[in-house]
């Protein structure tokens, strides 16, 4: 569905967030410092960065300032134990898109994540329609002609990646990056397996998924 980079030095908190976010249908990578974040963000196509402000060494604010100076436009959600008005203003002025104070509610965090990812994809609504297919981003669910689809996490991620770009070619590498974390074992035909399963579930009323040799996959809009 989307790939998230978590920048958090607290191992316990990071572990809990990784589990929460992954179980909500997102691919997630995690680093513990601003320096690591800058290196990884330059190499991988993230849809969202969640960055702790109080990082050791290079702070979260400095990390995002450097990221924006490189021209990166990926949405950024700051996490912080600081609640002063000046800190929030500084975070927004340095390129942050959203701000969540610690401690925070898990459901509230997920709502912030979904909203930021939707907006980055150019959609304010959680509902996406392609022909008889309706995808609900907030509920990570989909129906075809009012028939609910049973979709494990990665099938849902592939479906959303294609549906949100319906009528456009999505390269295989892009699908891999949005479905798998960088430490996941990935088979050479992993994407093909999920595409085959989705075609069966979408048939006969849903949109077709076309394979374009050497280019990628496209969900038809006709």
Distances (CA, A) of 143 to 25, 63, 76, 147: 17, 41, 31, 5
Q: What is the pLDDT of residue 60?
A: 94
Q: What is the pLDDT of residue 6?
A: 97
b/e per residue 10-24 (b: at least 16 CB within 10 A): eeeebeebbebbeeb
Question: What single DSSP character describes residue 158?
Answer: H
CB 94 within 8 A of CB 67: no
Measure the CA–CA gap between 135 and 130, rounded to whole angstroms: 8
Measure the CA–CA gap between 182 and 186, rounded to whole angstroms: 9
Q: What is the pLDDT of residue 124?
A: 59
Measure the CA–CA gap between 34 and 30, rounded to whole angstroms: 11
- Tell the residue number behind the tokens 């604010």, with chain if given: 61
Measure the CA–CA gap between 195 and 163, rounded to whole angstroms: 12
Q: What pTM was computed for the model?
A: 0.70
Q: What is the pLDDT of residue 186?
A: 64
Backbone phi, then psi, for 45, in 5-degree steps?
-90, 85
Measure the CA–CA gap between 145 and 118, rounded to whole angstroms: 24
Measure the CA–CA gap between 127 and 143, rounded to whole angstroms: 11
CB 207 within 8 A of CB 166: yes
How many other C-beta atoms are found inside a 10 Å radius of the C-beta of residue 176?
A: 16
Q: What is the pLDDT of residue 90?
A: 87
CB 208 within 8 A of CB 199: yes
Provide the residue-wise pLDDT of the chain in tens; the chain has 222 residues. Answer: 688 999 999 999 999 999 999 888 888 999 999 999 999 998 888 889 999 999 999 999 999 999 999 988 899 999 988 777 888 888 889 889 999 988 899 999 999 998 898 877 666 567 889 999 999 887 889 999 999 999 998 898 899 889 988 999 999 888 887 777 666 666 668 889 999 999 999 999 999 999 998 899 999 987
Q: What is the pLDDT of residue 157?
A: 86
Q: Where are the beta strands (DSSP E) in 56-204?
A: 76-80, 98-101, 127-130, 133-136, 141-144, 147-148
Q: What is the pLDDT of residue 184?
A: 66
């Amino acid at each position: 569905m989307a790939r998230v980079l978590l920048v958090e030095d607290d191992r316990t908190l990071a572990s809990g967030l990784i589990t929460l976010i992954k179980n909500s249908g997102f691919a997630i990578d995690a680093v513990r410092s601003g320096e690591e974040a800058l290196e990884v963000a330059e190499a991988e196509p993230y849809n969202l960065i969640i960055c702790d402000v109080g990082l050791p060494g290079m702070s979260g604010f400095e990390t995002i300032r450097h990221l924006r100076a490189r021209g990166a436009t990926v949405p950024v959600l700051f996490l912080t134990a600081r609640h002063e008005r000046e800190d929030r203003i500084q975070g927004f002025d340095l390129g942050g898109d959203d701000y969540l104070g610690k401690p925070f509610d898990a459901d509230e965090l997920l709502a912030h994540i979904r909203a930021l990812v939707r907006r980055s994809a150019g959609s304010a609504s959680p509902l996406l329609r392609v022909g008889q297919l309706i995808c609900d981003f907030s509920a990570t669910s989909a129906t075809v002609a009012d028939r609910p689809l049973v979709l494990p996490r990665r099938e849902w991620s592939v479906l959303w990646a294609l549906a949100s770009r319906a009528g456009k070619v999505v390269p295989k590498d892009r699908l891999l990056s949005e479905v798998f974390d960088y430490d996941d074992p990935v088979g050479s035909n992993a994407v093909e397996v999920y595409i085959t399963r989705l075609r069966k579930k979408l048939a006969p009323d849903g949109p077709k998924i076309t394979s374009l040799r050497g280019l990628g996959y496209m969900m038809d809009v006709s």
